[in-house]
């Protein structure tokens, strides 16, 4: 498959622009997109000569910023009340669900996602179709099946591996499916009977083997970890991000700072479970203490300087795709500075995903852009109102 043709150049204008790095907004801004890349981002007065020959798109009252990044999604799942039942049985049906959910993400301004768990290659395949221009959706960095132990969390979105050698084999099997990162289930989970959410799943030698093998092959590692014991073990093994991290103690926060790992809190996951009218009671009972601890843990982590990335866990109960702007609002409500929260959903997340030029607006970066209706720095809910989305310089919304 060959990629789509190069789009025509265009200038976007708005009263403000955020470049995604966390620096304050640029006023009276212009963004020149040329050849699928950013040719200029800054004050309109500084537009390069010749920019006037390019068509102009004016967005009064809006904010120009990088396309949003959701660092934790499950494209094969659609947010029904029971995750296990929501994932279609057939591979073809799962792939079709992933295509539909990719479109939903794009409609909400999301131009890059990391898929952290599918039964097979579904999300990676959708990502390839997006790159070829055959399917509308965000770019996808996919993990393939989550690596989980016998009796562990989400076996229906994963592959079972027990023992250090099996961990290495699981990494290689995912690589063969097109994975660009690895997801490991380091503790129990709220949605699965079996090991309790707060208890560690894998041993240290198992986690060490998985991370060593993944990094050796150029893949990053995301660890699902709810309790502090599993968080610490995963961080000691050298994972690149902790997913959920609901119970964090001082030792865990210290390990984050020492290793540089990012925290992807996924506030929307417990929010969907606790607010979902049809979610089973036993799941709500397991989610409640974790949700309460999450608020304290996140506040402590960001206060200590742990870098946050925005991940929604989209696809889990009552958590449909496209919610990353709401996740960002939760992060702000729970103590993260507004500009750092925007960074968490743009530059910080794109860097974690290994595609840093898809999270910033600066000369030479990919022309993935969202235009939000309002002043994002003053009102974070403006992120929930996309008025235009550009991907590789082409308007897609
Ligand atoms: Zn997940």
Candidates 122, 143, 144, 126; CA nearest to 135 is 126
**Contact present, 125 and 102 (Cβ < 8 Å):** no
Q: What is the pLDDT of residue 51?
A: 56
Look at residue 90 and tell me whether its pLDDT is greater than 50.
yes
**For residue 282, what are the contacts with CB-CB under 8 A and spacing of at least 6?**
none
Query: The tokens of 75 are what?
Result: 């494209």
- Identify the band that residue 2 occupies on the pLDDT scale cut at 50, 70 and 90: low
Question: How much distance in Å is there from the Cα of 45 to the middle of ligand 1?
Answer: 44
What number is the average pLDDT over the span 157-164?
98
pTM of the complete model: 0.97
Quick: pLDDT tens for 254-304.
999 999 999 999 999 999 999 999 999 999 999 999 999 999 999 999 999
Start-to-end Cα distance in the chain: 23
Quick: pLDDT tens for 304-332.
999 999 999 999 999 999 999 999 999 99
Q: What is the pLDDT of residue 48?
A: 84
Q: What is the pLDDT of residue 193?
A: 84
Question: How much distance in Å is there from the Cα of 84 to the middle of ligand 1?
Answer: 12
Look at residue 159 and tell me whether its pLDDT is greater than 80.
yes
Quick: pLDDT tens for 51-86.
567 889 999 999 999 999 999 999 999 999 999 999
Residue 17, helix vs strand vs coil: strand
Residue 369, helix vs strand vs coil: strand
User: Across all residues in the chain, what is the average pLDDT?
Assistant: 96
Question: How much distance in Å is there from the Cα of 374 to the middle of ligand 1?
Answer: 31
Look at residue 1 and tell me whether its pLDDT is greater than 80.
no
Question: How much distance in Å is there from the Cα of 346 to the middle of ligand 1?
Answer: 19
Percent over 70 (pLDDT), the chain: 98
**Which residues keep their CB under 5 angstroms from ion ligand 1?**
313
Q: What is the pLDDT of residue 52?
A: 60
Quick: pLDDT tens for 13-23.
999 999 999 99
Look at residue 142 and tell me whether its pLDDT is greater than 50.
yes
Q: Which secondary-structure segment (H or E) carries 381?
A: none
Query: The tokens of 242 are what?
Result: 């902790």
Question: How much distance in Å is there from the Cα of 21 to the middle of ligand 1?
Answer: 26
Residue 357 CB coordination number (10 Å): 16
**Contact present, 342 and 109 (Cβ < 8 Å):** no
Quick: pLDDT tens for 335-373.
999 999 999 999 999 999 999 999 999 999 999 999 999
- Identify the band that residue 127 occupies on the pLDDT scale cut at 50, 70 and 90: very high
Angle (CA) 112-117-118 rounded to 5° is: 100
Question: Whole-angstrom Cα distance, residue 384 to residue 395?
Answer: 18
The residue with tokens 């240290």 is: 204
> How far apart, in Å, are the Cα atoms of 255 and each of 228, 232, 260?
11, 7, 8
């Amino acid at each position: 498959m060959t990629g789509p043709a190069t789009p025509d150049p265009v200038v976007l204008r708005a009263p403000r622009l955020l470049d995604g790095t966390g620096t304050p907004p640029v006023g009276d801004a212009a963004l020149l997109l040329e050849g699928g890349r950013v040719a200029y981002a800054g004050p309109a007065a500084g537009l390069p000569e010749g920019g006037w020959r390019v068509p102009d798109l004016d967005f009064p009252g809006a904010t120009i910023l990088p396309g949003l990044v959701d660092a934790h999604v499950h494209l094969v799942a659609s947010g029904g009340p029971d995750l296990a039942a929501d994932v279609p049985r057939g591979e073809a049906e799962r792939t079709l669900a992933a295509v539909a959910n990719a479109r939903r993400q794009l409609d909400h301004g999301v131009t890059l996602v990391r898929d952290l768990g599918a039964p097979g290659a579904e999300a990676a395949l959708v990502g390839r179709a997006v790159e070829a221009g055959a399917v509308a959706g965000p770019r996808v960095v996919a993990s393939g099946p989550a690596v989980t132990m016998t009796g562990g969390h989400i076996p229906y979105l994963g592959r079972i591996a027990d023992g250090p050698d099996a961990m290495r084999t699981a990494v290689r099997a995912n690589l063969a499916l097109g994975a660009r990162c690895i997801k490991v289930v380091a503790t129990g989970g709220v949605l699965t009977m079996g090991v309790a959410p707060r208890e560690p799943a894998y041993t240290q030698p198992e986690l060490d083997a998985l991370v060593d093998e993944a990094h050796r092959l150029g893949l990053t590692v995301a660890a699902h970890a709810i309790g502090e014991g599993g968080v610490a073990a995963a961080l000691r093994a050298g994972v690149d991000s902790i997913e959920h991290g609901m119970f964090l103690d001082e030792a865990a926060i210290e390990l984050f700072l020492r290793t540089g790992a990012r925290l992807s809190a996924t506030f929307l996951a417990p929010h969907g479970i606790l607010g979902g009218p049809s979610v089973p009671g036993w799941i709500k009972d397991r989610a409640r203490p974790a949700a309460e601890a999450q608020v304290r843990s996140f506040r402590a982590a960001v206060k200590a300087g742990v870098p946050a990335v925005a991940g929604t866990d989209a696809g889990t109960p009552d958590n449909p795709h496209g919610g990353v702007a709401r996740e960002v609002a939760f992060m702000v409500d729970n103590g993260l500075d507004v500009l750092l929260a925007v960074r968490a959903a743009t530059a910080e997340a794109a860097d974690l995903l290994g595609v840093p030029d898809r999270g910033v607006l600066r000369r030479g970066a990919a022309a993935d852009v969202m235009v939000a209706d309002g002043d994002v720095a003053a009102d974070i809910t403006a992120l929930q109102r996309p008025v235009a989305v550009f991907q590789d310089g082409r308007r897609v919304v």
